[in-house]
Chain A
């Protein structure tokens, strides 16, 4: 069948010749004179040319023919003006490449399914109490049992909890890592299988056996990826566990840094569950798999119903009144969804501007090619035919732009991954894969149509008019394009401005302590020490560090820049209330070391020992929250719960410190002396007089020499830690800033090109004006006015657009409203300033026109 379509054109011509010859033969046989036979045969055949054309048109492959001819023509044009082509291809490559790079991130982070069986049916379940600001809270085992037995929308639920441990190392200090304690149904529920060995059984879980499934990374790192690892032991916290399996490299659930999975029954909380397991004692994570065909709405409403029942049945148990079901994909990436969407939006706007610029360039060239098109039309090319040709040309340009853009995207993606802040899930998996290729193809096609359609339609209609000044109509379209360009640029610029303002405002937030020259290091003693030993260890460690030259002071706290509020607190004389303040233990001269001022009362002293009355220092916010208008000193509170703490007396009030991040509000805070309630892991902070990075190694070895069995980790400066908190914002702000800078540049080029064209077109007119007495300034003004009118209209439209769009950013902003007047004044000013600069060059050129020469041109 197929060969028929490809029947060459000459073949049919030959058949016609053959027909005419046969007919002539026959006519001669019938007695027609040989001289007349040929003519008669041709007459009988009819209009051979039109028949041939008809056959050609019907043979279908003419579309190909035409396309390949247009393609060849486009390629010739492409090479004939390499400068023009390069500018267009580069502009498009920039737009397409940036889009592809961002898309490949989105593809990896948001679109690619999680590596579990049917991940769309997995969900995390949380206990919540929104009235008390508790979101995504952990779950109690008693509640979980009820959820499981009462729910019909879930196929199964599983539970897990994390625990850090020290992995024994033959040479060097132990390595601190995280294990996940899970039940036997955890792996089947996720639908994952080990690549080596097996997972533990329900029996092993029940018998609380010390068996361990390793992560792929740990297996490779510590055991060289040998399959003989099965049956051997790893030493965790000084105890042996038998290795029974290894999970695949892609499996990191539930924690990104999970290295070992063990039976949940081996977790200390499990052993203590009978004693402490109340409905309010919530320590556990719950993961569920819903049944096939069930909708999330049904699941959520069923679980809400169950929460209501439980609240009514166990009101005295203070169970949390709400359950929230969060689909696992949302749980994993929900936090970055908005950021990525905003990035994608801005990069798309940038592409639009790039396309508009290219459209403008093509239109300009279109006017230059008027003669060519007039000739083509005169020779019978239809409007559609010309449009098709122009579209083919822009397709060739976009294809080249897309190819180059893909190369740019690959490079940009590497840079993105390298510079991205930590914590974007699965970012490392981003690569140029088939989906990204397809996306790039689609974007290139889109660019071809957007940038080529206007010129194509314009040339169609413009040519329908007379040849005389089609450029006037042409200029109308180009004006519109420049206006559009400026309005889009303003939207981008306003968005970037808001992000930048937020970032700068964040820098001005007073953290409440002095982060300069402050070293921080976590020390984990782990199990096996008495409270007194733990207290003594940290006292010695602080003492030792303090004697290092270059160290001004040292102290320790349970967590310097990180703390979660307690569930409840009870102020003496009142009922327990939710939520409670943050509660941290400190050792040594913490406030002096951190640079937090004491407002009232006193610091802890050696007298605040284990047998002395319990004391606490609180922050200003706590004093204002719980004892407004009163003196907090001498007041008492306690933490009610399973093992409720003794009544604790407030002895001091300090200044507020932003511990949960600069962007968050300061919350009430309690500091207690570690001598009164020890802990096995503290963060040591060291105030130095020299560069803290330079002294870190000395501090580490000093601590090491005190006791080799402790693990030190996360050795950083506090400034670095603060930097990480703002890293995500900085990254995002720089990307949007970069996109809007490119947009600004492209818009400037766009308006420059148009005004330049305007001046060239009106050289004559300007010459006449000057001959009639127009001054330098008049002509300059004429061009500038024209340009600024366009820019102004574009900016106005852009302001309206930005006002409509920036509220989408509101949750990403800090300290500014989406309609921040400073941003909305600055962005237009910048854009108009750039427009003035861009118009200045053509305006100068216009004003410099020599009227004599200009008039002589005609």
Chain B
């Protein structure tokens, strides 16, 4: 259902990646799949651009990466959330909730008040 898919909002990809890593370290492809599945295929994640985001997060020190062996017995680069990244996640999640709530209230005032 490609028509149901939507482009990610600016900055949300970072948040989604961090969120995915809360449960433990993962490699790039795993993160991509996980985001796709958890969003029930709503979000269109270009796998390539995921790596740009990962690189950015790595540079900021929110995630760290290490080569390891995957469940498929292949070499893969595993990303882990750092303490700094965890703080960011909490902060960004709060921020996102507030924004989402605010937008929801504006778009459907009755529902929100009710």
Interchain CB contact under 8 A, B72 and A22: yes
* Chain A residues near B76 (CB-CB < 8 A): 15, 18-19, 22
Interchain CB contact under 8 A, B51 and A15: yes
**Closest chain B CB from A526 CB (angstroms):** 82
**Closest chain B CB from A199 CB (angstroms):** 61
* Chain A residues near B105 (CB-CB < 8 A): none
**Closest chain A CB from B33 CB (angstroms):** 7
Q: Closest residue to B73 on the A side, CB-wise?
A: A25
Contact A55:B74 (CB < 8 A) given known A18-B27, A22-B27, A26-B29: no
A59 at the interface (CB under 8 A from B): yes
**Closest chain B CB from A3 CB (angstroms):** 10
* Chain B residues near A54 (CB-CB < 8 A): 52
CB proximity to B under 8 Å, residues A9-29: 12, 14-16, 18-19, 21-23, 25-26
CA distance A14 to B75 in the complex (A): 9
A63 at the interface (CB under 8 A from B): no
Contacting B74 at CB < 8 Å: which of A22, A45, A50, A58?
A22
B109 at the interface (CB under 8 A from A): no
Q: Closest residue to B29 on the A side, CB-wise?
A: A22
B46 at the interface (CB under 8 A from A): yes
* Chain A residues near B29 (CB-CB < 8 A): 18-19, 22-23, 26
A51 at the interface (CB under 8 A from B): yes
Most chain B beta-carbon neighbours within 10 Å: one of A19, A44, A46, A47: A19
Q: Closest residue to B58 on the A side, CB-wise?
A: A4
B70 at the interface (CB under 8 A from A): yes
* Chain B residues near A25 (CB-CB < 8 A): 72, 74
Most chain A beta-carbon neighbours within 10 Å: one of B32, B51, B52, B72: B51
Contacting B77 at CB < 8 Å: which of A15, A55, A58?
A15
A852 at the interface (CB under 8 A from B): no
CB proximity to A under 8 Å, residues B21-73: 27-30, 32-33, 46-49, 51-52, 55-56, 58-59, 61, 70, 72
Interchain CB contact under 8 A, A15 and B52: no
CA distance A23 to B27 in the complex (A): 11
* Chain B residues near A48 (CB-CB < 8 A): 48
A379 at the interface (CB under 8 A from B): no
Contact A59:B55 (CB < 8 A) given known A22-B30, A22-B74: yes
**Closest chain B CB from A20 CB (angstroms):** 8
A272 at the interface (CB under 8 A from B): no
Count of chain A residues with Cβ under 8 Å from any Cβ of B?
24
* Chain B residues near A47 (CB-CB < 8 A): 48
* Chain B residues near A18 (CB-CB < 8 A): 27-29, 70, 74-77
**Closest chain B CB from A802 CB (angstroms):** 57
Interchain CB contact under 8 A, B55 and A58: yes
* Chain A residues near B77 (CB-CB < 8 A): 15, 18
CA distance A55 to B29 in the complex (A): 17
Interchain CB contact under 8 A, A46 and B72: no
CA distance A48 to B49 in the complex (A): 9
Most chain A beta-carbon neighbours within 10 Å: one of B30, B33, B47: B47
CA distance A26 to B71 in the complex (A): 11
* Chain A residues near B56 (CB-CB < 8 A): 58
What per-residue 1/0 map shows which CB atoms of B11-25 lie under 8 Å from chain A?
000000000000000
CA distance A48 to B50 in the complex (A): 11
Contact A51:B70 (CB < 8 A) given known A14-B75, A26-B29: no
**Closest chain A CB from B30 CB (angstroms):** 7
Contact A55:B72 (CB < 8 A) given known A18-B27, A19-B29: no
Interchain CB contact under 8 A, B47 and A44: yes
CB proximity to B under 8 Å, residues A782-798: none
A418 at the interface (CB under 8 A from B): no
Q: Closest residue to A51 on the B side, CB-wise?
A: B48
CA distance A51 to B47 in the complex (A): 10
CA distance A25 to B74 in the complex (A): 10
CA distance A47 to B46 in the complex (A): 9
A1 at the interface (CB under 8 A from B): yes
Interchain CB contact under 8 A, B51 and A55: yes
Interchain CB contact under 8 A, B48 and A26: no
CA distance A1 to B59 in the complex (A): 8
CA distance A79 to B74 in the complex (A): 48
CA distance A45 to B59 in the complex (A): 22
CA distance A1 to B64 in the complex (A): 10
Contact A1:B61 (CB < 8 A) given known A22-B29, A25-B72: yes
**5 A-B pairs with least C-beta separation:** A46-B48, A51-B48, A22-B29, A45-B47, A46-B46
What are 26 sample pairs from A and B whose C-beta atoms fall under 8 A apart?
Answer: A1-B61, A4-B58, A4-B59, A14-B75, A15-B28, A15-B77, A16-B51, A18-B28, A18-B77, A19-B28, A19-B47, A22-B27, A22-B74, A23-B32, A25-B72, A26-B29, A26-B33, A45-B47, A45-B48, A46-B48, A46-B49, A51-B48, A51-B49, A55-B55, A58-B52, A59-B55
Q: Which residues of A contact B (CB under 8 A)?
A: 1, 4, 12, 14-16, 18-19, 21-23, 25-26, 44-48, 50-51, 54-55, 58-59
Known pairs A19-B28, A22-B72; list 11 more (Cβ under 8 Å): A4-B58, A12-B51, A14-B75, A18-B70, A19-B47, A21-B72, A22-B70, A23-B32, A23-B47, A26-B33, A55-B55
